[in-house]
Amino acid sequence: MMVDSAAALVDVLRRFRLLETAQLDRLARQVDAKPANPRVVAQALVKGGYLTAYQANQILLGNGSELVLGAYVLLERIGEGGMGQVYKAKHHTMGRIVALKQIRKDKLDNAEAVKRFRREIQLASQLAHPNIVMALDAAQDGETHFFVMEHVEGTDLAKQVKQSGPMPVNQACDAIRQASLGLQHACDRGLVHRDVKPSNLLLATKTGQVKLLDLGLARLEHDSDDKLKTKLTQIGKVVGTVDFIAPEQALNASKADIRSDLYSMGCTFYFLLTGKVPYPGGQALEKLARHRWEDPEPVEKLRPEVSGDVIAIVRKLMAKKPEDRYQTATDLAAALVPYSVMSSKKTMPEIAAMALPASSGALAPRGGEVPYAVYAAPPANGRVPVAAAAAPPSTDSEVPVAAPVGADPVISRGSRRGRPATEGYPMPVLIGIAVALVIGGLVLIVILLSRPLVGPAPKERGAQRLSTEIAAESRPDSLVGSAVRTSDTVGG
């Protein structure tokens, strides 16, 4: 039920302990003395840093109870994927900021989905590496299951590229190098990730650290619980994301190994360098057929300044046959070292900062009491001055009273800014690129000449051929009629 009075708003804040008792008492006195629109009070609390815009909206919409999960208070929504929503949250007593992943409500009545979610939690908690998001806690509050991890202040690489365009080459190389180190750690513990993609790589703004995320589809190579394993892949039949999936994984997910993850890493690398997925457009099956038989548009065509050496690394990662790829993630990380040097004028944190919203939405310190007169009754013209005592100095001293609630936050988090990523190259590098291009051209001619006269099957024939092959495999793990994570977009 919508909160329709300031007193009701104070009640909700008290019930869910969203403010300290002394602050609440003071606020209650103010509300008693000078009745006001609950929206105006909420806006003032947001402006003063006592509530986030997300919290204020949820409370006004009558969803205050959903802001508290066990020992955690939700602060804002930071992501949404196949399994559920991800929030920035705060431990109530310890004050620690975390990321909290909650299983979606519509998945809760599905016992197998819950099992799968639990499994993600268990797998994640086995890993401890600077390039893997650290698992911290897991719990159930009523019907809701949630998983708590370290909060990475920054952005995922899908959002990063969407907002700022392709990454500078050496930053992209470094991101992939770091992610490979995390992947190797997972592999050493018998895990195949099976869903490596830009939105599952987080870039920390301050440190430039890249962290692998989301073991929702991971598989334990020597899994004792075979029955569960089969069931898990049957439920949603989700075994990867078609834009980034290795051909052999699409055919039979149980055959995926570290080299399949390395193929997905190659597609991710391609995306970071070009801003495009390797096989854009088309239906899921068509994309899968293209992964199997077609070469993507060459990186050098989309991004001429990428060196031949780096292009060769992308190609090797995206080789159709697993045996032609790097065989370990350590090998990949080693190959990238020479190209990951921070020679660009921009550092990794600077690049990450380019994708940050103008106002990062961070909470202002909440110490002390709610200042007197945090709000004022709305004047007849519908716009209210926000009391200066409550708000930090700001250029917009007025808050529209009739701000929409729901789709739009009471107070938005500010506009996003982004600049294209550029970097300069010294002459020797340009000469190197020219030489590499000539060599690349010659290699291409040799490859073309050594191909059979009949070229790759047209898209539809490829898709048809692939469905026949998949049907022949007909394993529970295969991608028949599934491809849930199919979108061209790289979210989730």
Ligand X SMILES: Nc1ncnc2c1ncn2[C@@H]1O[C@H](COP(=O)(O)OP(=O)(O)O)[C@@H](O)[C@H]1O
Which stretches of the chain bind ligand X, using CB under 6 A? 78-79, 81-84, 86, 99, 101, 133, 149-152, 156, 199-200, 202, 213-214, 216, 492
As measured in angstroms, the least distance from the Cβ of 244 to Mg ion is 11
Q: Is 81 in the site for Mg ion (CB under 5 A)?
A: yes
Binding mask 46-75 for Mg ion (x = CB under 5 A): ------------------------------
Task: Pick what 313 binds: ligand X, Mg ion, none; C-beta below 5 to 8 Å, kind-dependent.
Answer: none
As measured in angstroms, the least distance from the Cβ of 233 to Mg ion is 17
Q: Is 214 in the site for Mg ion (CB under 5 A)?
A: yes
Residue 355: which residues within 8 A CB-CB, separation 6 or more? 155, 159, 160, 163, 164, 416, 418
Distance, in Å, from the CA atom of 1 to the CA atom of 336, rounded to the nearest integer, reads 55
- Which of 195, 243, 257, 477 is the catalytic position? 195
**Catalytic residue check, 11:** no
Task: Pick what 208 binds: ligand X, Mg ion, none; C-beta below 5 to 8 Å, kind-dependent.
Answer: none
Q: Is 266 in the site for Mg ion (CB under 5 A)?
A: no
Question: Cβ closer to ligand X: 47 or 101?
Answer: 101
Task: Pick what 83 binds: ligand X, Mg ion, none; C-beta below 5 to 8 Å, kind-dependent.
Answer: ligand X
Nearest partner of 73 among 141, 2, 5, judged by Cα:
141
Question: Cβ closer to Mg ion: 208 or 492?
Answer: 492
As measured in angstroms, the least distance from the Cβ of 196 to Mg ion is 10
As measured in angstroms, the least distance from the Cβ of 83 to ligand X is 4
Question: Cβ closer to Mg ion: 136 or 302?
Answer: 136
Task: Pick what 355 binds: ligand X, Mg ion, none; C-beta below 5 to 8 Å, kind-dependent.
Answer: none
The residue within the footprint of Mg ion, chosen from 52, 200, 264, 340 (CB under 5 A), is 200
Task: Pick what 152 binds: Mg ion, ligand X, none; C-beta below 5 to 8 Å, kind-dependent.
Answer: ligand X
- State which residue has the least CB distance to Mg ion: 214
Question: Cβ closer to ligand X: 41 or 113?
Answer: 113
Q: How many residues bind Mg ion (CB under 5 A)?
A: 4
Task: Pick what 101 binds: Mg ion, ligand X, none; C-beta below 5 to 8 Å, kind-dependent.
Answer: ligand X
As measured in angstroms, the least distance from the Cβ of 310 to ligand X is 25
Question: Cβ closer to ligand X: 409 or 492?
Answer: 492
Question: Cβ closer to ligand X: 149 or 370?
Answer: 149
Residues recognised as catalytic: 195
Which residue ranges make up the site for Mg ion (CB under 5 A)?
A: 81, 200, 214, 492
